[in-house]
Structure formats: C-alpha cells, structure tokens
Amino acid sequence: MTTSNAKIYPLEIKLHQSSNLLEIKFNNLTECMLSSEFLRVHSPSAEVRGHGPGQETLQVQKENVAIENIEPIGQYAIKLTFSDGHNTGIYTWDYLYELAATYDALWEEYLRKLSFAGIQRTKTHA
C-alpha cells in the first residue's frame, strides 16, 4: 500500500502458465509473483467475500487451479477466469497491489483458517 496520492498501476502483467504464477510489475517499481491459488482464494467476488463482514466463504481445494484468461476491465482492473470456472472477481490495480503488499500475512491467515476447519492442502504452495 502507498501513503502518497500517486496512483499505483501495473506496467506489465505476465502469466507464467507452467508455474501458475501471475507476475506484476507496478509503476512504483514494485514487482510481485502471485500464485493462481492465492488469487483464487482471495477473489474480490461476492461469491468469495460475501456481501458484508462475516459472510466470507472459505475456498478449499484450489491448490491446482490455473488462470485460463486475463481480461482487461477499462483502465483500472482485470478479470481473471480460473480453471474451476470462477470468473466473477474484478481485480482492481489497488487490490492487486494490496494483495502483493500483504501477501505473507494473507497467506498465513488462509492457512490458519484451513487448519481451523480441519482441511489440509494437497500440495505445497509455490
């Protein structure tokens, strides 16, 4: 996240299909690699997030999900289509940057939620 009023946006978005990683290079020189699984379980869609606090749905068995399509949405976002059919999340530039900036904390929180629910992942995170 940024503390200035400068708008953050990606200069380049590249899908690495063999590793299921989305590489993003932002205009502030930040670079990140986000896995398809991470992006899928943190989809900004109502299906995942719900319509308010406490309405989130824990996403499970997304270890092998892949990004099948990246569609630009105006000058502010992308829509990702995943191999499990999910395609309703609109990932704004600000949201992608927030995901990158808080990746470690978000991933640990997700793993804690899985553990609490008694669910084990079937593959290690890339």
Q: Which domains does the chain have, with CATH numbers?
A: 10-116 (3.30.2020.30)
Measured CA to CA, the distance from residue 6 to residue 67 in angstroms comes to 29
Helices and strands in the chain: count of H runs, count of E runs: 4, 6
Q: Encode the chain (126 residues) as per-residue pLDDT tens digits.
A: 444 567 999 999 999 999 999 999 999 999 999 999 999 999 998 777 766 777 788 999 999 999 999 999 999 999 999 999 999 999 999 999 999 999 999 999 999 999 999 998 876 554
H/E stretch holding 105 reads helix 103-116
Place of tokens 């953050």: 8
Global pTM reads 0.89
Contact 16, 24 (CB under 8 A): no
